[in-house]
Structure 1
Amino acid sequence: MPENTDAQSGTLVTPEDAGKGAPGVVSRWIAELELSEKVEKNWRERAKNVQERYRDEKSQNERRYSSSNRYNILYSNIQTICPALYNQSPTPDVRRRYRDADPVGKEISEVLERALSFTMDDCDFDRYMRLAIKDQQICGRGVTRVRYDPVFSEESDEMGDPYDDLKSEEVKFQHVNWADFRHGPGRTWEEVEWVAFSHLMTRDDLRDKFGDKIGDEVELDYTPIGVEDKDGDVVADTFKRATVWEIWCNRRKEVIFISKSVKERPLKTDPDPLQLRGFFPTPRPLYATENTDSLVPVEPFRFYRDQANELDNITRRISGIIAACKVRGIYDSTITEMSNLMDAGENMMIPAQDVLPLMQSGGLDKAVWMWPIEKIAGVLNELYNQREQIKKTIYEITGIADIMRGSTASSETLGAQQLKVQFGTMRLDDMGREIQRYARGLVRLAAEIISEHFSPDSLAMMTDIKLPSPEEKMMAHQQAQMMAQQQQPVPPQLEEILKKPTWEECMQVLRDDKQRSYRVDIETDSTIAGDQAMDQKSVTELLTGVSTFITNAGPAVAAGYLPLDAAKGMLMSAVRRFKMGREVEDALDMIGEDGNGSGAADDGQQQAQQAQQMEQQAAAQAEQMKMQMEQQNSAIKAQEAQQKAQVEQEQIQLDSKVHQASLMIQEQEIGLKERDMALKEFEAQKPEPDPGMKIQADIQMAREKMEFEASEADKQRQVDLAKVIMAEFNGPEISMTSPEDALARASEIMARINEVISATREVGGMPLEETTVMVMDDDDDFIEPVLQ
């Protein structure tokens, strides 16, 4: 397939201009890689030469002259600067961002810190940091990437269908060689939209990664140096590799694998495999020199290359002059013993055959004339002095002179020594902070991968942290409630379970980028080891200050003049300046939390005895308070029993009253029914009365009717009232926890029952005897009322 000419000429406006479909994707990324390589071409050539110089590998021109000498100042500088910038592996420091009571934040901080500590130890984090720093100081840029490596095994479910079962997972660090890294255009790292890593893969690697079909299509285009065929024959594939580019595109959030030999399609495309906030699997690279104009690295050797070359020239001249400085001379040939004298051994005397010529010449020293080398030695001394001057210039450029100034003599005063040590580290502080930033970035990437991808089982196994499940916490809560109702103390193990969050609660925060960032801060301690004597002095000063502060502030806290939180805040502010670590700060934070911690250690036997006496007094007071509490509990229980018996007696009386009222109501109903039946029988059996008698009978009937209706109304009122009282009595049981309310309610119910029993029978508010009866005649006309 023909290549895209626009991509090769660099006239693309958008990624789509490289072509459509899969071939367009490959064409676009090949153009991006070639453009990145052109931008960094000069630097890559210089970096390769610096690498060879550091390794003391002679170039092709130097190989022609076996006498070529070099003063490898580069190797010396690298071996001096690197330990000054980084000489100990950092320790992860994960803690809550805010000092609030946050059990979940505290647990996830502990989980992440333990997981990171294991990962850094298991993967040899220190080695990868040293490799990155070495690339930074030699070539100008160091890169390290972070990988997520899960291990799966094929299993079968109950139906026999295969599935991948997660066996283990880990985070790994990988050093990226300076020649195998590319990135997109940008003046600062924030403008970079893609990064790429080069891989050399064998045929088996290609098949395992991309499948047999695609793996066989890729051309093995890389041959290791040293296995070229001198006769032009093809080198066997066993020694060849394929160059595969792994491209992380931040704009599209995907990872593309391409090979320049396969232009029809990408080898593989993965959508955002790590789910990182910054997307890239590497922090901002470790640059030796940074500016805001370009991201092209600058090797530090470039700044003193001319001085290093001059140093090499002087070294070669010194070697030549030393070769010329030989013991040579001439002697009088008439002295035949002179040749034997030059070859004679140690402590050996040679007899003279003819003494007269030797005496005439004035002695043996007058018969020998040596080759003059005094002027040559003077030139040699000047060359040595000039070489030292050049070295000093190089040290000033690189900053090694500041390290050397930090070296003090034993005869100097303490103040002078401290000033020199302080000044000797000032210039390297900036580079040291950049290395600490890089280490912190790698640790944070590892923490993010652990939080996003690790399962709770893997975290529990890695960190050895025991957290309850929701079911266990619910059972513990129910058990604690039962023990509280029974007035039993809760065991410490149960309290610990109730205080700890569950794995589900912790994983919910770990999986959320925002919550994790808001609640947890991930840092690393210093990557530069301090002076042991200075550390010991700082610790001694800290302990002395803490002891003095507690001694002076203790009485004020005990008297209530100084709040405990204020005293702890003042103490923590001083301790944080010494950077003693989280363990010390956490220990000081626990002061006053449990209420049984002592202030400071006793210094003498008298203080120990006083502490023992105070402990005994406290134990006696606690025992006395315990007995008083038991007595109070017994009195309360007796009072509750008495009130309960009284309430039960009232209930019995209520039952009797209610039963009595119910019987009276039944008797009244029966009597009314009997009177109604008797009246009806009387009406049916009496003879037909005369008119006068009829009027009297009507009056009597009306009167009895009104009496009956009034009795019915009275009966209904009593029945309704009784029903209300019965409903109240048979309602919810009176709570035994408030005896006064129970007695008041019982008294009210009894009063109402007595009201029902003693109620008078009234109709309209007046007795029946005073009721006016209206009588009608046969023509339905009212007769004059008769007052009965």
Structure 2
Amino acid sequence: MDADTQHQEPSASKPWLDAIEEAEKAFNVWNEKCDRIDELYANLSKMADARGDRQFQIFWSNVEIMRPSVYQRAPQPVVMPRHSDTGEIPRKASELVERALEYDVEADDLHETLLLVRDDLCLSGRGVPWVLDDARCIHVDRRDFLHEPARKWKEVSWVARRAYVGRDEGVKRFGEIFLDAKREEIGNDRGDDYQSTGRKAQVWEIWSKTSGTVVWVTEGVDTVLDEQPPLFDVKGFFPCPKPAYATVERGTLKPIPDFVYYRDQVDEINELTARISGLAESLRLKGFIAAGASEVADAIETAMKQTDNKAILIPVSSAAAMGGKALRDAIVWLPVSEVAGVIQACIELRKQLIDDVYEITGLSDIMRGVTQAQETLGAQNLKAQFGSVRVREKQSEMVRVALDVLRIKAEIMAEKFDIGELMQMAGMQLPTALQVEQMMAQAQQSGQQLPQTVTVEQVAALLTDQRTRPFAMEVETDSTIAPNEAAEKQSRTEFLTAVGGFISQAAPLIQSQPEAAPFMGEMLRFGAGAFRAGRDLGGEIDQFVETVKQKAAQGQGQQPSPEQIKAQGEAQKLQADMQVKQTELALKERELALKEAEVSAKLEAGRYQVDLNAALKAQDQRIKLQELGVKQDEQRLKEAQAEIDAMMQVAEVELERDQQRPVGIGDN
């Protein structure tokens, strides 16, 4: 803070407090919805109440599936020169920043912060990280973060973060003016005393892009607590990246939680669950008996109380007590089957509503670990692919937020951290300019020539140059979701195959023509850049390419002798003759293969013709056998008809004989 700023009168805090109040009103509906969603997601006191209505916890289940799908592992920073031909200084600076970020990601526990951001994204539709001036990243609760209401993030002119500050801490930070701050018992909006923050003041830290200042205000103090230039200068001005959004209201930055889109279905599912529970309580075997038959009633009650799995027989001394009726007529049972039918119908309806919820959320069977034995691998891959389409947007948001956080951290480290501290974090050693001069002088005395060495001063100059640094370096991150091991193995195998094949083809060319080394090196960089593994090995590939170029340059600088030229010419001629012979041999082998194919085709055609003739003969034989069978059947039919005719004739003769025979005594 300069002298002019120190002597300026502090500005009024009311305009900023009014802006904070307007922003809170703009997000009031969203915060109220999120409060109810948080209570529905996890409320220990409500869930521990055994007297509460039964609920089907599908919302909790969906969130638990969504959370690891959106973000699961810490980001791995990747810092590289923006262009491959910028020299050794950007390469060493990139390596230094990348190693420092790797250490910082672990030391700062960035993974834990991003997990909280992910949970806010999945539950409330917005997650916010905030980077402090010492490069630490913290999670900001949704009620403790505000920004100017706008249509898009680029139009936001200020962001604010709320902190709860006690009396002693506030006086130490802001001075005696903090004694007028309004302090109250700060709870956690739970209605209980869990983790109460005590009597503290709510201090808002406001970053204004319009005025280019940072302002601290609180209720009860008419002037700002403090106002100063930004604590660090980063791209975008704000100490926080654009929040991770799920769905926003059109034309605004108001988040819309995913849960509101299927809240109706969840309410119906819970209502059916409560109804099923109530009906299940009444699903008991109950009946009525006549009051007059006391002995029968006692016997029935005794039988109902028995729990033995064996057959139960209860004697009744007076059979007349049954009233001449069967036992089934003496008891009238409640309609249990009708209740069971209603329960089954409720279960089917609830199942349909659950499927509707999965349709709305886009959670496929594969993501939920549900599959069927008859499903093919292609069907399962299709489900996994399209089931994660809606999740990819949230995954991309988390990757973007993680990348923006790493970039802000890298800018803070480059600007505010000492180069010695960065080298300690990175575990690197770079010589100073004085050490390089001493080594060069010693090398000249001994007649040696040392390669160009990057110094600490050169790297520090690049890191602190805010104008040049963004043009020379870029910060990236790998995926923040769990990798697919099969796909990762396949990608690495493809990379090794491609690079290995390229090197095997390029090596003879570079050996025979060293001037082609730079071109082949750039081709290797171009091809490796398409693979994820190529980006991880970017530094080693660049170093390999530079080594090949240097060796090629050394080879070009050495003029060959006439004997070497003659030997190279003879070797090239011999190589050409060998190539011609190999070509002739390949042609002969191809002709031989064609002849073998032709012979095989003829043999196959002859074999096919023989098989066809045999099949035709067999078919003719079967037809002839069938015709013979038909003829035999006709012959047997004729013989049977002849026998029938003969029997008819015999019967007719017998009938005529009986009619002509005279009637005797005793005949009727």
Shared fold, TM over 0.5: yes
Instruction: Work out which of the residue numbers 306, 318, 324 in structure 2 matches 1:344.
Output: 306
1:267 aligns with 2:225: yes
- Greater mean deviation of Cα atoms: 216-225 or 584-593: 584-593
CA deviation string 1:12-51 (max 9, x = no partner): xxxxxxxxx9686211111111111121121121121111
C-alpha distance after superposition, 1:99-126 (max 9, x if no partner) = 0151110111011101111111011111
| Residues 418 and 544 (structure 1), Cα distance of their counterparts in 2 relative to 1, 3 Å cut | farther
Check the 8 A contact 2:13/2:217 in 1, yes or no. Answer: yes
- CA offset at residue 342 of structure 1? 2.1
- For structure 1, the 5+ residue unaligned runs are 1-20, 150-170, 231-236, 599-624, 626-788
- The aligned residue for residue 409 of structure 2 is 446
Picking from 283, 287, 303, the partner of 2:245 is 287
Pair 1:392 & 2:379 matched: no
User: Once the 2 structures are TM-superposed, how far is the Cα of residue 364 of structure 1 from its aligned partner?
Assistant: 5.5
TM-score (norm 2): 0.73
Aligned CA distance change for structure 1 residues 383 and 125 (closer, same or farther; 3 Å): same
1:202 matched to 2:166? The reply is yes
Report the residue type matching 1:337 in the other structure.
Answer: A
> Greater CA deviation, 271-280 or 398-407?
398-407
Provide the aligned length of Structure 1 versus Structure 2: 538
The equivalent residue for 1:587 is 540
Which of 28, 31, 41 is equivalent to 1:41? 28
Aligned to 2:108: 123
1:714 aligned residue: none
Of 502, 509, 515, 2:468 maps to 515
Q: CA deviation at 1:449?
A: 0.5
Distance apart, 1:575 and its partner CA:
3.6
Query: Could you tell me whether the CA contact under 8 Å between 2:517 and 2:548 is conserved in 1?
Result: no
Once superposed, what is the RMSD of the aligned Cα atoms?
A: 3.3
- Give the drift of 1:508: 1.3
Q: Which amino acid aligns with 2:363?
A: I
User: Residue deviations 1:304-353, cap 9 Å, x none?
Assistant: 22222222222222222122212212357443432222222435655525
CA-to-aligned-CA distance 1:115-147 (integer Å, 9 cap, x gap): 111111011111111111111221121111001
Q: In 2, distance between residues paired with 1:249 and 1:597?
A: 52
More displaced, 570-579 or 115-124?
A: 570-579
CA contact (8 A) 1:408 1:420 kept: no
Shift of the 80–472 alpha-carbon distance from structure 1 to 2, 3 Å rule, reads same
Matched, 1:176 2:140: yes
In structure 1, what is the Cα distance between the partners aligned to 2:428 and 2:97?
11
* Letter aligned with residue 196 of structure 1: A
Of 249, 257, 260, the match for 2:216: 257
Q: State the distance in 1 between where 2:151 and 2:189 align.
A: 38
Equivalent in 5, 10, 16 of residue 29 of structure 1? 16
In the alignment, is the contact (CA less than 8 A) between 1:144 and 1:173 conserved in 2?
yes
SS of the residue corresponding to residue 139 of structure 2 reads: strand
- Residues 43 and 297 in structure 1, CA contact (< 8 A), matched pair in contact too: yes
Between the aligned partners of 1:562 and 1:411, the Cα distance in structure 2 is 60
User: Is structure 2 residue 135 aligned with structure 1 residue 185?
Assistant: no
Q: Is the 8 A contact 1:406 1:422 kept in 2?
A: no
**Map 1:380-529 → 2, pairs under 5 A:** 380-401=343-364, 404=367, 409=372, 411-484=374-447, 489=448, 495=450, 499-529=452-482
Contact 1:407 1:420 in 2 (8 A): no
**Structure 2: which amino acid aligns with 1:241?**
K
1:602-617 mapped onto 2 (5 Å cutoff): none
* Aligned-partner SS, 1:346: coil
Contact 1:78–1:138 (8 Å) recurs in 2: yes
- Secondary structure at the counterpart of residue 533 of structure 2: coil
Give 1:570 shift.
Answer: 4.4
Cα separation, 1, equivalents of 2:27 and 2:303 = 68
Asked whether the 8 Å contact 2:246–2:393 carries over to 1, the reply is no
**Residue 293 to residue 358, structure 1, CA distance change in 2 (3 Å):** same
How far did residue 407 of structure 1 move? 6.1
Equivalent residue for 1:242? 201
- 2:623 maps to which residue? none
User: Shift in Å at residue 561 of structure 1?
Assistant: 10
Identity %: 31
Shift of 1:71: 2.7
Cα distance, 1:593–1:239 mapped onto 2, change above 3 Å: closer
Post-superposition offset of 1:198? 0.9
Measure the CA separation in 1 of the matches of 2:390 and 2:125.
18
Question: Structure 2 stretches of 5 or more lacking a match?
Answer: 1-7, 552-563, 565-668
For residue 92 of structure 1, what is the aligned residue in structure 2? 77
Cα distance, 1:87 vs structure 2 = 1.4
Match of 1:576 among 529, 550, 559: 529
Post-superposition shift, 1:541?
Answer: 3.5
Specify the alignment match of 1:161 in structure 2.
none
Q: Secondary structure at the match of 1:580?
A: helix
Q: Select which of 305, 315, 326 maps to 2:273.
A: 315
Q: Following the alignment from structure 1 to structure 2, what is the Cα–Cα distance between the partners of residues 68 and 319?
A: 9
Deviation sequence 1:733-768 (CA, Å, 0-9, x none): xxxxxxxxxxxxxxxxxxxxxxxxxxxxxxxxxxxx
Report the CA distance shift for 1:528/1:299 in structure 2 as closer, same or farther (over 3 A).
same
Q: CA deviation at 1:416?
A: 3.6
Q: Structure 1 residues 413 and 399, CA, compared in 2 at 3 Å: closer, same or farther?
A: closer
Residues 22 and 138 (structure 1), Cα distance of their counterparts in 2 relative to 1, 3 Å cut: farther
Partners of 1:29 and 1:271 in 2: CA distance: 17
Q: Which structure: larger Rg? A: 1
What SS does the corresponding residue of 1:513 show, helix, strand or coil? coil
| Partners of 1:331 and 1:551 in 2: CA distance | 96
Q: Deviations over 1:286-314 (max 9, x none)?
A: 11114661112222212122222222222
The 5 Å alignment of 1:658-673 reads: none
Deviation at 1:550, TM superposition (A): 3.6
